[in-house]
Amino acid sequence: MQITINVNGEDYTREIEPRHLLVRFLRDDLGLTGTHWGCDTSNCGACTVLLDGKPVKSCTVLAAMAAGHEVRTVESLEVDGNLDPVQQGFIEKHGLQCGFCTPGMLMTARALLNENPNPTEAEIREAISGQLCRCTGYLNIVRAIQWAAEHSTAKTVGS
Amino acid sequence: MQVPAPFEYQRAKSVDETLALLQRFGDEARIIAGGHSLLPMMKLRLARPEVVIDINDLHELDYVRQEGSELRIGALTRHRTLLESELIGRFFPIFHDAERVIADPLVRNRGTIGGSLCQADPSEDLSAVCAAVKAQAVIRGADGSRVVSMDEFHLGPYETAVGPGEMLVEVRIPVWQNAGSAYEKVERKAGDWAIAAVGAAVSLNNGRIADAGFGYAAVGILHAHQVEEAVRGKEPSEELFAEAGRIASEVCEPITDTRGSAEYKRHLAGELTKRALRRAVARAAGREA
């Protein structure tokens, strides 16, 4: 079947099988390998992208279900060489070690700050509760998102 | 890489079109909404539908509203909507209690109440919630709608009253007077299925429990009518809460698995019944917002 998905502001039309998963569509068909493919069971959240502005696990969404909708991946965060505050926050506060969970964490953080520019620590922890990080113990990820909230200007990249 | 077996994809635009597709494809078809139960099962070949009918465009089934003395929830209402609904929280705080501990925010962005109830996973939270508040399920088929109680809807693990060619379209909950409700769950980690969970709903009249409902997840039963009968007409007290818990741990039928021993779950069913009832009563009496 033929589908068109708007990814990072651009329409992409591809011929796919109905069983094709959104994560594979992004990685294999579009070459957007920033979205990581982790556990494949909706547990780890590494594959998190924004679907119509809301974070979802793209290993558990059929590409066909996303047809006609807007998807944002981690590749959309940097604009004209300028990092999104959530990206800068992960650098400033060392919010990553191996980096595997990072794209998903960044997208969840972006979605959170779009809706709630000044989240509490509890709200940040709740927002990332569907994502696993095996390295950091989460503390620096929380600090990174707090840093991003403090350093965000009016711009809402990825919203 | 886990990928479902091949299937045909249909995107429905209305309830009528969905029903027509279900009629056409019969047992080979499965409805997909959030997909967070069905897709993992399809990846593992525990489900292998030949046709998948996507109902995410059925916005007519995405609502929470009050109609007369009932609260009505469309089957496509997402977990996130339920969690954020002021109307739900005002009448049935049990839904907010449960939604806070159902999976995680990302899954809650996709999953729906209809999908949860139709999946009928024995550890699923909303079935227990709906049992506790004595919800009714509206099932539509080619010949019209029928309304069934949760007792009639939930036939057992992964089995509901929704027949071939039919779909769940709405959940109706009678709004109780002087009522309170609460959900208590113990899980291994954030977002996990319950080791055990209990929902309780009560209405008070002249300081006594006029009516009560209890719903259970992960302990082998959905209802515990014996507990309801034991508290009905009684004055709330710590002794009564303990008695309700004692009965619940006797009538539940948990099994030993990776989440815990049957003995431990039996203990939890009792303890959580006590806590949920205590909180529901406090809320009904206006002692807890």
With CB atoms and an 8 Å threshold, state whether A45 touches B106.
Answer: yes
pLDDT, average across residues B92-101: 98
Q: Which domains are seen in chain B, by residue range?
A: 8-53 (3.30.43.10), 63-174 (3.30.465.10), 179-284 (3.30.390.50)
Chain A residues lying within 8 Å of B83, measured CB to CB? none
Q: What pLDDT score does B287 carry?
A: 87
Of B36, B54, B104, the CB nearest to A129: B104
Q: Nearest-CA neighbor of B61 among B127, B128, B16, B9?
A: B16
Chain B residues lying within 8 Å of A106, measured CB to CB? none
Give domain status of residue A27, yes or no.
yes
**Residue tagged 């292998």 (tokens):** B48
Q: Residue A30, SS3? A: coil
Closest-CA residue of chain B to A41: B40
* Interatomic CA distance for residues A116 and B105, integer angstroms: 14
Mark whether A142 and A118 lie in a shared domain: yes
**What are the phi and psi torsion angles at B99 (to 5°)?**
-65, -30
Give domain status of residue A35, yes or no.
yes
Residues 6+ apart with CB under 8 A from B17: none
Give domain status of residue A28, yes or no.
yes
Contact between B137 and B117 under an 8 Å Cβ cutoff? The reply is yes
Express as a percent the part of chain A with pLDDT over 70. 96
Residue of B106, B107, B112, B193 best to disrupt the A interface, most CBs of A under 10 A: B106
Mark whether A13 and A69 lie in a shared domain: yes
Across the A:B interface, residue pairs with CB atoms under 8 Å apart total: 80
Mean pLDDT across chain B, nearest whole number?
Answer: 96
Contact between B245 and B271 under an 8 Å Cβ cutoff? The reply is yes
Residue A125 maps to which CATH number?
1.10.150.120
Mark whether A69 and A92 lie in a shared domain: no
Give domain status of residue A98, yes or no.
yes
Q: With residue B217 as reference, give the H or E element that holds it.
A: strand B208-217
Q: What pLDDT score does B190 carry?
A: 86
Q: How far does CA A54 lie from the centroid of its chain? A: 9
Mark whether A8 and A44 lie in a shared domain: yes
Q: Residue B259, SS3? A: coil
* B206's tokens: 């002249």
Mark whether A27 and A50 lie in a shared domain: yes
Residue A27 confidence class, pLDDT cut points 50, 70, 90: very high
Mark whether A62 and A124 lie in a shared domain: no
Mark whether A70 and A90 lie in a shared domain: no
Q: What pLDDT score does B289 carry?
A: 58
User: Domain end: A56, A75, A94, which one?
Assistant: A75
pLDDT, average across residues B48-67: 98
* Interatomic CA distance for residues A46 and B39, integer angstroms: 17
pLDDT, average across residues A60-78: 98
Residue A96 confidence class, pLDDT cut points 50, 70, 90: very high
Mark whether A114 and A49 lie in a shared domain: no
Give domain status of residue A156, yes or no.
no
Closest-CA residue of chain A to B189: A129
B109, pLDDT greater than 80: yes
Chain B residues lying within 8 Å of A130, measured CB to CB? 103-107, 190-191
**Residue tagged 């039309």 (tokens):** A13
Residue B55 confidence class, pLDDT cut points 50, 70, 90: very high
Find the domain containing A142 and state its range: 85-151
Mark whether A10 and A57 lie in a shared domain: yes
CA distance B137 to chain A (A): 26
ipTM above 0.90, yes or no: yes
Express as a percent the part of chain B with pLDDT over 70. 100
With CB atoms and an 8 Å threshold, state whether B36 touches A45.
Answer: no
Mark whether A27 and A68 lie in a shared domain: yes
Chain B residues lying within 8 Å of A127, measured CB to CB? 105
pLDDT in tens, B258-289: 999 999 999 999 999 999 999 999 999 998 75
Q: Which residues of B sit within 8 Å Cβ distance of A?
A: 1-9, 11, 32, 35-36, 39-40, 42-43, 52, 54, 56, 80, 103-107, 109-110, 190-191
Closest-CA residue of chain B to A65: B54
Give domain status of residue A157, yes or no.
no
With CB atoms and an 8 Å threshold, state whether B106 touches A126.
Answer: no
Instruction: Quote the number of domains for chain A.
Output: 2
pLDDT in tens, B134-167: 999 999 999 999 999 999 999 999 999 999 999 9
Cβ atoms < 10 Å from Cβ of B220: 18
Q: What pLDDT score does A159 carry?
A: 47
* B84's tokens: 């954020």
* Interatomic CA distance for residues A69 and B110, integer angstroms: 14
Mean pLDDT across chain A, nearest whole number?
Answer: 95
User: Domain end: A75, A107, A125, which one?
Assistant: A75
pLDDT in tens, B119-134: 999 999 999 999 999 9
Residue A12 maps to which CATH number?
3.10.20.30
Give domain status of residue A50, yes or no.
yes
User: Domain end: A54, A75, A96, which one?
Assistant: A75
Give the strand pairing for B136-141 and B167-174.
antiparallel
CA distance B232 to chain A (A): 37
pTM above 0.90, yes or no: yes
Closest-CA residue of chain A to B57: A65
Q: Nearest-CA neighbor of B103 among B122, B84, B86, B126?
A: B126
A154, pLDDT greater than 60: no
Q: Which residues of A sit within 8 Å Cβ distance of B?
A: 1, 17-19, 21, 24, 37, 40-42, 45, 48, 51, 54-57, 60-62, 64-65, 67, 108, 126-127, 129-131
Residues 6+ apart with CB under 8 A from A59: A21, A22, A23, A37, A38, A39, A40, A41, A42, A47
With CB atoms and an 8 Å threshold, state whether A57 touches B2.
Answer: no
Mark whether A10 and A36 lie in a shared domain: yes
Chain A residues lying within 8 Å of B191, measured CB to CB? 129-130
Give domain status of residue A159, yes or no.
no
Task: Give the per-residue SS3 of A92-147.
Answer: HCCCCCCCCCHHHHHHHHHHHHHHCCCCCHHHHHHHCCCCCCCCCCCHHHHHHHHH
Of A19, A51, A126, the CB nearest to B7: A19
* B173's tokens: 């909950």
Q: Residue B246, SS3? A: helix
Residues 6+ apart with CB under 8 A from A37: A23, A24, A27, A46, A47, A59, B1
* Interatomic CA distance for residues A131 and A146, integer angstroms: 17
Q: What pLDDT score does B107 carry?
A: 97
Q: What pLDDT score does A89 carry?
A: 98
A87, pLDDT greater than 90: yes
Mark whether A62 and A92 lie in a shared domain: no
A158, pLDDT greater than 60: no
